């Protein structure tokens, strides 16, 4: 999910002024229903540590400390929405979560709960097709994705339409999770894996190469710097592949499709020219609908296997961007100034805590 635009609730005209200057901030926690409607403010929640991880199947999660202030919480059905609010600016969602049945603690006559917060997409990862599931050739993949989500009882959906259809019938055995089926369908049409957005909507969107994503934020040193000067940089260089093959299975007399994608970026130290040899990643076998979707998948996997080679971790004031967003990071003393993608975000429990961003340098393949 590229998250190149401002989330709902944010006032775009105020962005540059208030996000790089002094802030008066607070976190808001609300009990919401399945459709995202607010039931009540969860006043007893005074802090939650939250995170997003781009390459995780369930991308959001966290843990919350909640004090009993008389609210009636059904832990088996509750959903908690977390938001980050800046006075005079607006707010953006940090996710909708399913709280686990928590540990209950009593101290001084007051009851407190310590609850794990699970990505709302957990609903799809815990639901299986009990009798198996099948789709015919010619089925529009995004229609099938939307139907699978709806059949699981979820109504807050943001699936971008595509006219791509399955080229062969597909069959899944009993016990396959709905999320696994959806993500296989996403792969087959060149989409990002399904993810929940900050407002809890279950979203599936076309994959965009990091090099083609619009820069949605700039972490720059200088007068308007919002990150602390200390940061870490890690590089793991030796085994980085510069070649990725993806293929589909043939049917009868029809051979499968095969795609080979190479890193020939002259600015990349891992390209074939700069390494002087080809280093192949593990072959992917998938059910892509066409050559374009297969190429998209091969590029995505090669980029994923390349991105960790240059990783920067910074502590910065939170901004309304999610993982997979393209950003610029500049540190003049370190000689770094270039395009990166956000691969991980960690929010501390306190309202005023800085967020920890993991940024991966972009390689174009």
- Mean pLDDT per 10-residue run, the chain (365 residues)? 41 56 90 92 90 96 93 90 91 95 87 94 95 95 98 96 94 95 95 96 95 93 88 74 89 82 88 90 87 90 76 93 95 91 95 94 75
Residue from 150, 153, 200, 202 nearest 37 by CA: 200
Task: Assign residue 342 the CATH number of its domain.
Answer: 2.30.300.10
49 within a domain of the structure (yes/no): yes
First-last CA distance in the chain: 19
Instruction: Compute the distance between CA of residue 268 and CA of residue 339 in angstroms, rounded to an integer.
Output: 13
Ordered DSSP codes for 134-152: EE-TT-BHHHHHHHHHHHT
> Do 278 and 224 belong together in one domain?
no
> Do 228 and 327 belong together in one domain?
yes
Secondary structure element (H or E) that encloses residue 123, with its range: helix 122-125
Instruction: Compute the distance between CA of residue 3 and CA of residue 326 in angstroms, rounded to an integer.
Output: 9
| Boundary (domain end) residue, out of 66, 87, 118 | 118
Give the distance from CA 97 to its chain's centroid. Answer: 14
Instruction: Compute the distance between CA of residue 358 and CA of residue 233 in angstroms, rounded to an integer.
Output: 10
5 within a domain of the structure (yes/no): no
> Do 349 and 215 belong together in one domain?
yes
> Do 251 and 227 belong together in one domain?
no
> Do 64 and 135 belong together in one domain?
no
pLDDT for the residue numbered 156 = 95
pLDDT for the residue numbered 84 = 95
346 within a domain of the structure (yes/no): yes
2 within a domain of the structure (yes/no): no
Secondary structure element (H or E) that encloses residue 41, with its range: strand 38-41
Whole domain around residue 226: which residue ranges?
Answer: 210-236+309-361
Region for 190 from its dihedrals, namely left if φ exceeds 0, alpha if ψ lies in -120 to 50, beta otherwise: left
pLDDT for the residue numbered 230 = 81
Instruction: Compute the distance between CA of residue 40 and CA of residue 36 in angstroms, rounded to an integer.
Output: 12
Tokens (6 digits) for 300: 């995505």
> Do 147 and 26 belong together in one domain?
no
Q: How many domains does the chain have?
A: 4
> Do 226 and 330 belong together in one domain?
yes
Residue from 168, 191, 194, 162 nearest 56 by CA: 194
pLDDT for the residue numbered 363 = 73
Orientation angle between helical segments 141-151 and 178-188, nearest 10 degrees: 170
pLDDT for the residue numbered 270 = 85
- Evaluate whether 111 touches 102 at the Cβ level (below 8 Å): no
> Do 226 and 247 belong together in one domain?
no
290 within a domain of the structure (yes/no): yes
7 within a domain of the structure (yes/no): no
> Do 22 and 88 belong together in one domain?
yes
> Do 76 and 155 belong together in one domain?
no
Helices (H) and strands (E) in the chain, counts: 6, 22
pLDDT for the residue numbered 339 = 92
Residues 194-221 have pLDDT tens digits of 999 999 999 999 999 888 999 999 999 9
| Boundary (domain end) residue, out of 305, 331, 347 | 305
> Do 224 and 355 belong together in one domain?
yes
145 within a domain of the structure (yes/no): yes
Instruction: Compute the distance between CA of residue 278 and CA of residue 280 in angstroms, rounded to an integer.
Output: 6
Instruction: Compute the distance between CA of residue 18 and CA of residue 85 in angstroms, rounded to an integer.
Output: 12
336 within a domain of the structure (yes/no): yes
Residues 6 or more apart whose CB falls under 8 angstroms from that of 98 comprise 78, 79, 117, 118, 119, 120, 122, 123
| Boundary (domain end) residue, out of 132, 163, 193 | 193
Instruction: Compute the distance between CA of residue 268 and CA of residue 168 in angstroms, rounded to an integer.
Output: 38
> Do 260 and 291 belong together in one domain?
yes
Residues 6 or more apart whose CB falls under 8 angstroms from that of 168 comprise 137, 251, 287
């Amino acid at each position: 999910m590229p998250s190149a635009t401002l989330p709902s609730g944010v006032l775009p005209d105020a962005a540059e002024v208030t996000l790089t200057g002094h802030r008066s901030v607070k976190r808001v926690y609300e009990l919401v229903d399945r459709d995202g409607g607010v039931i009540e403010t969860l006043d007893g929640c005074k802090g939650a540590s939250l995170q997003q991880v781009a390459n995780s199947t369930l991308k959001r999660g966290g843990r919350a400390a909640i004090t009993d202030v008389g609210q009636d919480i059904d832990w088996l059905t509750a959903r908690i929405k977390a938001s980050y609010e800046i006075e005079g600016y607006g707010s953006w969602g940090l996710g909708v979560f399913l709280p686990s049945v928590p540990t209950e603690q009593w101290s001084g006559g007051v009851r407190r709960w310590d609850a794990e917060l699970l990505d709302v997409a957990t609903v799809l990862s815990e639901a299986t097709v009990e009798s198996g599931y099948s789709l015919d050739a010619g089925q529009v993949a995004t229609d099938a994705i939307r139907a699978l989500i709806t059949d699981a009882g979820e109504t807050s959906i943001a699936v971008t339409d595509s006219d791509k259809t399955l080229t062969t019938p597909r069959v899944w055995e009993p016990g396959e999770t709905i999320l696994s089926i959806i993500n296989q369908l996403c792969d087959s049409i060149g989409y990002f894996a399904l993810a929940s957005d900050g407002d809890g909507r279950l979203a599936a969107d076309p994959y965009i190469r990091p090099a083609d994503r619009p820069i949605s934020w700039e972490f720059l040193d200088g007068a308007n710097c919002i990150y602390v000067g200390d940061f870490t940089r890690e590089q793991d260089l030796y085994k980085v592949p510069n070649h990725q093959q993806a293929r589909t299975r043939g049917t009868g007399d029809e051979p499968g499709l095969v795609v080979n994608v190479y890193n020939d970026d002259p600015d990349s130290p891992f390209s074939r020219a700069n390494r002087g040899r080809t280093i192949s990643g593990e072959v992917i076998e998938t059910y892509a609908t066409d050559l374009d979707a297969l190429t998209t998948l091969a590029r995505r996997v090669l980029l994923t296997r390349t991105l960790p080679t240059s990783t920067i971790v910074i502590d910065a004031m939170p901004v309304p961007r999610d993982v997979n967003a393209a950003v610029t990071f500049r540190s003049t003393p370190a000689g770094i100034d270039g395009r990166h993608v956000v691969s991980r975000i960690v929010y501390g429990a306190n309202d005023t805590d800085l967020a920890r961003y993991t940024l991966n340098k972009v390689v174009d393949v």
